[in-house]
């Protein structure tokens, strides 16, 4: 067995900014999400989403909000912010939340590349749903 010349790899918390392209109904929304999640959690989320059961789906969105939504700038029609909590997520337009969660899952399941190392704390980028990890945010289209 060869001796290691370095200490072990330290896993760091990665985040991404999910935003929307001009022309999208959600243009102006930004959400910061954690993209480094435990593998067990990812498998559970995928299983819950595939089940299609309402209680599982509700729990999926609550876990997203509680554990992986860092912050967002979503407000109601009176300019009052929706909190970045499970209550806030469950109160916002379902199409917007579904789009953010879809972008988050895409960011979680797309591994960082060498070209993205050190860029905006690991933030991700793309057009449409997501193209590449080489820029600074996940930009979602229409």
Q: Give pLDDT tens digits for 44-70.
A: 988 988 888 999 989 999 999 999 999
Residue 66 lies in a domain: yes
Residue 141: predicted pLDDT:
52
- 7 confidence band (pLDDT: 50, 70, 90): confident
Helix (H, G, I), strand (E, B) or coil at 137: coil
Domain count, the chain: 1
Summarize the confidence of residues 75-83 as an average pLDDT: 96
Residue 114: predicted pLDDT:
54
Residue 86 lies in a domain: yes
Q: Mind listing the pLDDT tens digit for each residue in 107-133?
A: 888 876 654 444 444 444 333 333 333
Residue 7 lies in a domain: no
In the sheet that 69-72 helps form, which strands lie side by side, from edge to edge? 69-72, 30-34, 15-20, 138-140
Q: pTM for the full model?
A: 0.72
Q: Which of 119-122's residues contact partners 24+ apart within 8 Å by CB, and which partners?
A: 120/17, 121/14, 121/15, 122/12, 122/14, 122/15, 122/16, 122/35, 122/36
Residue 61 lies in a domain: yes
**Average pLDDT value for the chain:** 80
Domain around 125: 15-140
Residue 1 lies in a domain: no
Q: Report whether pLDDT(91) > 80.
A: yes
Residue 71 lies in a domain: yes
């Amino acid at each position: 067995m060869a001796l290691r010349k370095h200490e072990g790899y330290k896993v760091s918390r990665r985040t991404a900014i999910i935003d929307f392209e001009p022309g999208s109904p959600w243009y102006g929304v930004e959400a910061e999400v954690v993209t480094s999640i435990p593998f067990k959690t990812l498998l559970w989320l995928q299983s819950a989403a595939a089940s299609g059961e309402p209680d599982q789906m509700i729990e999926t969105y609550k876990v997203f909000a509680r554990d992986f939504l860092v912050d967002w700038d979503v407000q109601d029609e009176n300019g009052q912010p929706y909190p970045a909590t499970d209550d806030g997520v469950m109160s916002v337009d379902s199409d917007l939340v579904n789009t953010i969660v879809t972008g988050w899952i895409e960011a979680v399941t797309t591994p960082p590349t060498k070209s993205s190392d050190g860029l905006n704390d690991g933030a991700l980028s793309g057009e449409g749903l997501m193209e590449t990890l080489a820029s600074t945010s996940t930009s979602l289209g229409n």
